[in-house]
Amino acid sequence: MKIETSEVNGTNIAEVASEKIEIKNVQDALDLMGNCDYRGARRIILHKKNISTEFFDLSTGIAGEILQKFSTYRVKLAIVGDFSGHFGKSLKDFIFESNKKGMIVFVDSVSKAKERLAKH
């Protein structure tokens, strides 16, 4: 996994650059937060393709556990991907509520992710 950092409006943002699944469980998320924090970034962009499909099945509880860690440690996360497709109503509602609160957001482009994460 490669982590690229950039600065947007004085805010350091880390973006995970990988073609494989990097987040399968809570420990993977904690490791990612630690790696990004070491690089001075407490805002992270993660692509949908880098997250296990179980994350998007809310009945597994994985999404709740992982996102709770980001919230607890006050690390902002943007997940980039197309969320308009085959997802059920519960996931769509979950995404809608997350986007309203702003700590964890689901967006369709890296530029939107950077814009949302750069807001204080």
Convert the pLDDT of each residue in 75-119 to its tens digit: 999 999 998 876 788 888 999 999 998 899 999 999 999 999 998
The predicted pLDDT at position 36 comes to 97
* Helix or strand (DSSP H, E) at 38: helix 26-38
Range of the domain at 110: 2-118
The predicted pLDDT at position 120 comes to 64
Report the amino acid identity of residue 67.
L
Q: What's the pLDDT tens digit per position in 42-86? A: 999 999 999 999 999 999 999 999 999 999 999 999 999 998 876
48: domain CATH number?
3.30.750
Overall size of the chain counted in residues: 120
Report the amino acid identity of residue 44.
I
Number of domains in the chain: 1
